[in-house]
Amino acid sequence: MAPDRDREGLPRPDAGPLPVPGAGRGLRLPPDPPARARDAHAEALDRRHLPGAGAEARARRLPFRRLSRPPLPPDARAVAVLQLPAAPRHRRQHLPPLVAAPRPARHAPRRGVRRAAGGPAGAAVAVSSPWKGRRVLVTGGLGFIGSTLVRRLLDEGATVRVVDALRPGDGGNPFNLTGREGEVELLRGGVEERTVADRAVADVEVVFHLAGKVSHVDSLARPVDDLVDNAATTVVLLDACRRLSPRARVVVAGTRQVYGNPLRLPVDETHPIRPPDYNGVSKAAAELYARVAADRLGLATSVLRLTNVYGPRQLVAHSRASFTGWLVRQAIRGETIQLYGTGEQRRDLLYVDDAVEAFLLAAVALPGNGEAWNCGREDSVSLREFAETLVRIAGSGRIELVPFPEDRKRIDIGDFATDSRRFREATGWRPRIDLEDGLDRTVSFFRAHGDRYWSATA
């Protein structure tokens, strides 16, 4: 299958170097071993890491040792197009264990974190963090939540690899990592391509899988693209982990959209799965792949079903991905904010830093048995309240109520409120940033950097 054959104008993994300011030299790959050696190596990995019979612990089935870097076929050389200076590698046995512990309040200084005097906001140096020296992969790491997660991981001292296809209109933006680009390894390519996935997961300890599509409207217009970018990317990534990094913890970004129009509020994990559109279907399929990978292959996987996330660096170039981002754009630019229907539909809105904290805790505290966990706030607000708060903070924009367009009416789910008690009890996670504070930070960011985000190709 050639997933990209119908993607007119979209970049392929061999489309050339990633246009990131201050980029370093291209990645030099070692020469490939003979084909016979490659085949023997792959077969040995498969035999070693497929789960065996009996009740022996997973840790004893999967030896705790560093895997050698897997050989790459010649056509993979165009995939890993860029390697920038990264933190030194650490041998696995010298790394502290990942231990779960509730984090202190957001505005309190983090124990063991030193911030350079007079330095930029991103100049924190983690001196006693469970993430220090960890080798972490973030798929979709140039996107909204992904780039915010990358920045936090760098602050914690992790060694971070990012893979992103940078498809126009999907939210990937090199500017999202400006100022930190010299600290990460960047790979350009779609994770649904096996060569990309293999290169991405090689020798990593934690995988945060945030690559994929989020547009419900686009999923109905281009369902195959949606299926490939959400379901296929997940199964290809999980298979690469099985073969090359079977001890890696994998956290998959899910969505509350899998529940559809809620039968009761708040919605907990026992609610039936009733996707209202193809995006919900493909994301539900991705969840099931993660569950089977845990049940049958012994991978440590977890899924976070996120509610509506907003904040700096989100996609604001069009309205198909997020109503929060589109409304932020309209308010800052002094445009009319159109709310569909009465504007009284309620949502629980999660600030991006709180979502990132949830991902970090999911990796260290959840059992990794393939289960899905709700992640959202429980103090829902109406879309009208959101818009009014936004207009007041921005000091511009006006609100207008308009009838639902037919394409939006078909997939509207009405009110939604997330029950995240199960995740909170398992991890100690609490959302810290309220709507007022979150919108103030968001407006300030886009006022300063909006010219980098107004266009889908910025």
pLDDT tens string 247-303: 999 999 999 999 999 999 999 999 999 999 999 999 999 999 999 999 999 999 999
Find all residues with CB under 8 Å of 435, minimum gap 6, and list them: 349, 381, 386, 389
Q: How far apart are CA 313 and CA 306, in angstroms?
A: 17
Look at residue 170 in the predicted model and tell me its pLDDT: 92
8 A C-beta contact, residue 422 and residue 308: no
Look at residue 73 in the predicted model and tell me its pLDDT: 42
8 A C-beta contact, residue 355 and residue 375: yes
Q: How far apart are CA 168 and CA 457, in angstroms?
A: 6
- At residue 416's C-alpha, the angle toward residues 411 and 422, to 5°, is 125
Mean pLDDT of the residues in the chain:
80
Q: How far apart are CA 175 and CA 142, in angstroms?
A: 8
Look at residue 115 in the predicted model and tell me its pLDDT: 40
8 A C-beta contact, residue 251 and residue 209: yes
Look at residue 457 in the predicted model and tell me its pLDDT: 58
- Alpha carbon 87 to its chain centroid, in Å, reads 22
Over 90: is that where the pLDDT of 450 sits? yes
Look at residue 95 in the predicted model and tell me its pLDDT: 35
Question: Domains of the chain (ranges plus CATH)?
Answer: 79-89+131-452 (3.40.50.720)
How far CA 138 is from CA of 141, 154, 175, 253, in Å, comes to 5, 12, 16, 11
What is the tens place of the pLDDT at every residue in 345-399?
A: 999 999 999 999 999 999 999 999 999 999 999 899 999 999 999 999 999 999 9
Nearest to 187 by CA among 76, 69, 286, 92: 76
Q: What is the mean pLDDT of residues 181-186?
A: 97
Looking at residue 328, the DSSP 8-state letter turns out to be H
Q: Which amino acid is at 73?
A: P
Percent of the chain with pLDDT over 70: 71
Instruction: Tokens for 268, please give them.
Output: 């907990």
Nearest to 245 by CA among 211, 215, 204, 210: 204
What is the tens place of the pLDDT at every residue in 104-113?
A: 333 333 333 4
The backbone torsions φ and ψ at residue 312, rounded to the nearest 5 degrees and listed phi first, read -55, 145
Pick 65 or 193 by higher pLDDT. 193
- Indicate whether this model's pTM tops 0.85: no
The backbone torsions φ and ψ at residue 90, rounded to the nearest 5 degrees and listed phi first, read -120, 145
What is the tens place of the pLDDT at every residue in 48-99?
A: 333 333 333 333 333 323 333 344 344 433 333 333 333 333 333 333 344 3
Q: Describe the crossing of helices 194-201 and 233-244 by its angle, rounded to 10 degrees.
A: 50
Q: What is the mean pLDDT of residues 127-156?
A: 95
Q: How far apart are CA 303 and CA 283, in angstroms?
A: 10
Q: Describe the crossing of helices 383-394 and 323-332 by its angle, rounded to 10 degrees.
A: 30
pLDDT band at 438 (very low <50, low <70, confident <90, very high): very high
Q: What is the DSSP string of 333-375?
A: TT-EEEEETTS--EE-EEEHHHHHHHHHHHHHHS--EEEEEEE
